[in-house]
Structures are given as structure tokens and as C-alpha cells.
Amino acid sequence: MKKLKMGMVGGGSGALIGAVHRRAAIMDGEVEFVAGALSSNREKALASGRELGLTDERNYASWERMLEDELSLQEKERIDFVSIVTPNHMHHPVARAFAEAGFNVVLDKPMVHTSQEAEDLMRVVESSGVVFAVTYTYTGYPMVKQARHMVREGLLGEVRKVIVEYNQGWLASQLEESGTKQAEWRTDPARSGIAGAIGDIGSHAENLVSTITGLEVAEICADLTTFVSGRRLDDDGNLLIRYEGGAKGVMMASQISAGEENDLRIRIYGTEGGLEWRQEEPNYLFHKPAEEPERVLKRGNDYLCEEARRASRLPAGHPEGFIEAFANVYMNVVAAISAKQEQAKPDGLSWDFPTVYDGAQGVHFIEKTVESSRSDEKWSDARWRPPARQRQTL
């Protein structure tokens, strides 16, 4: 077994999500972290790299330098992929540059700031043929894969209604004024884009619905609010949604729901029954057939679908969590990269991670939600019609 070499842009000391990416990437023993440009600040970048054990040669002071130097290495010495975990405003230039140069990319969400950037990135990825993943973590959970399987298999009948929520409370007070880095950049339009809560967590909610149900948004009616005075982006958003085909939806995304932690949950109702999953208890999936006892499906059991079983590392009853869900994205990215390197055709499951198209759809959704919220029209067309939309092929 050859380990894949990972580089990282962003994620220096004190950054939350960078450490999660690293743990998720290395925990299966298939990836080694060898290079990084870990901060936009030179000194901080280098200090972080030393702390994390990077060699001096591959501890870069800037991402541009990293790109240049890695390109100058022999192909088998180069990093096999780069993980980009900067604040949002750097996603587009960095991801674009690496993808164009032929590096496989793992990029945090939301993918970029605007639809124009998203479409640009789609084109670059399509022409370069790199493996490109967007870390919508929550779809990495085994029981989310099981939910997707059950909806596809028709266990709910025809889907009529979807309620998706993402309730957080950590921005209920003006945390951005008290020196909390996370709060600062996430409430800053320059670094976060046009949306606050709806961009940061609403995008996860949208991706969760889309992944599990396959439903496509037709029209939305959004009401975004900024509750904390002085804040420049929304911190609460509620939407009515009409999906193609007649299903209805409700979405809530809030960062001022005081007392809530990371309460992402989804309920799906079809003609034959309902399904519920809650991120804070991710090892369970609740299935409510219309006329029978509720069923609690649990991670790690043989009765689950193959994708869910593959995404488990432990027997039933030994809880897996967020890092493992994240690791499932990396696991499938690694499989896809390996397959590409070996010119092998990956099996279908290897592509079981969110791609540049999922990322672009998410950016489009954020834009349309902000538009709708500003509009007096009840319903805003929010259909996503990308100029090119084809599954990535090797």
C-alpha cells in the first residue's frame, strides 16, 4: 500500500477545521500530511508547519510558493492532493490555481462566493480532469447514506414533504466583537460572502436534502434576519421551498437559536412513511412506516446498505462521530485518486463524495436565497441550470 501525500492550504495553529481535515485524512493510515502553506501570514504559516512536523522544504510561506515548488518536483514526489481550508474568500483563487495545474483538490464549503466563480471552477475541473471534492461533511455519515438508499429504493413511496433544520446558538450574542476568530470571519462579508447563517450552515442543509432525496429546488420564499445589532450578515434564515414534482419543503438555518449546539436534522415524509436523522445522534436513523411500529436503524449492522456499511469503522454500538464522517469523504476521495492514478475504473462507490457540481449548486442556492429574502415576490425561481452539467469522468 502506498500512502497518498496531502498538502494543505490554510489550517494553521488555532484553526478549527484544518485540524479536523488532517485527522480525517490520516486516521485510516492511507494518507500522509507532507506539505502546507498553513496561513496567509508568512510567520504564522511557517510556525504552524514546524509545530505540525512538516519538513522545512515543504513548509511553505505562501500557497503560491507551494504550488510552484510542488509543480517543480517529480510527479511521484508531488502531493497527490491539496486540501484547502482557508476562509471562504480564498477558496476560488487557490482551488482554481491548483486544479488548473492538475492537482486533485479537497475544498471546504461553501465552495466559492459567487455563481460566476462556481461556474468558472466547474469549467476548470472539467478541462483539467482532476478529482475535486467539496467537504459537505454531513453526507459522509453512514446513516445519511442509508437514508439516501431507502428513499431511492422507494421505502417512503413518493416524497411529499421535507423539513430540514440547522439550529445553532453560538452567535446569539455579538461574539465577533470579543476576539473570537471563527465569529469574526464568518460574520464578515469580505471573507464569508453575501450570506451568514444561510451560507455557513444553510448550505449544508440544502446539500443534505439534495443528497438524500434527489429533489431539485424549483421555487423558494426566504426570510433572512440579522438579529444581533451591528452584525453585517444574516444570522437566521427560514425558507418555504417548492421542489420540482410537487414536494414541499421547509428549511431553517439559525445561529441565534440560543442553547442549540449543532442541531442539523432532517425529516422526510412520503406517501408510505417518514424518515428522520439528527446529526447530534448520528448513529441512528428513524424510520416511521405509515401503519407499522417505528424502526430505529443503527450504524454498524448487517441490515444496512453497502454504502453505509463501507462507511463504518466499528461494530454496532461503538459510536462513530463527526471526524469519522469527515474521514468517509477522504476515504472515497483517496479511492478515486488512486483509481485515477492507476488508470483503473473506480467502482461506483468510490465517487460517493460531494463534487464541484454539488458545490456549485450550493453557491447558487445561497445566492437565490439572499435574492428571495430581499424580494417582495412570494416565490423566486431557484432552479439550478448550470451551463454544463455532466458527471465528472476520468
Restricted to residues 356-375, the positions that interact with a second copy (CB under 8 A) are 375
Q: In the bound complex, what is the minimum distance in angstroms from residue 163's beta carbon to a second copy? A: 7
Contact 213, 159 (CB under 8 A): yes
Read off the C-alpha cell for 270.
Answer: 412520503
Is 291 among the residues that bind a second copy (CB under 8 A)? yes
Least separation in angstroms between residue 87's CB and a second copy is 17
CB 173 within 8 A of CB 257: no
Please pick, from the candidates 14, 71, 319, 394, the single residue that binds a second copy as defined by CB under 8 A. 319
Is residue 206 a contact residue for a second copy (CB under 8 A)?
Answer: no
Q: Is the dihedral of CA 348, 352, 357, 362 positive or negative?
A: positive
- Which of 19-23's residues contact partners 24+ apart within 8 Å by CB, and which partners? 20/322, 20/323, 20/326, 21/83, 21/85, 21/106, 21/108, 21/135, 21/326, 22/52, 23/323, 23/326, 23/327
Exactly one of 71, 73, 290, 394 binds a second copy (CB under 8 A); that residue is: 290
User: What does the alpha-carbon distance between residue 196 and residue 189 come to, in Å, rounded to a whole number?
Assistant: 8
Name residues contacting a second copy, limited to 248-287 (CB under 8 A). 248, 250, 252, 254, 256-263, 267, 269-274, 279-283, 287
27/101 with CB nearer a second copy: 27
- 161 binding a second copy? (CB under 8 A): yes
Q: Which of 59, 88, 135, 168 binds a second copy (CB under 8 A)?
A: 168
Cβ nearer to a second copy, comparing 28 with 216: 28
Least separation in angstroms between CB 124 and a second copy = 31
Residues with Cβ within 8 Å of residue 290, at least 6 apart in sequence: 272, 273
- Of the pair 117, 165, the CB lying nearest a second copy is at 165
Positions 25 through 84 that interact with a second copy (CB under 8 A): 26-29, 33, 50-53
226 is an interface residue for a second copy by CB under 8 A: no
Burial of 387 (0-12, 13-18, 19+ CB in 10 A): exposed
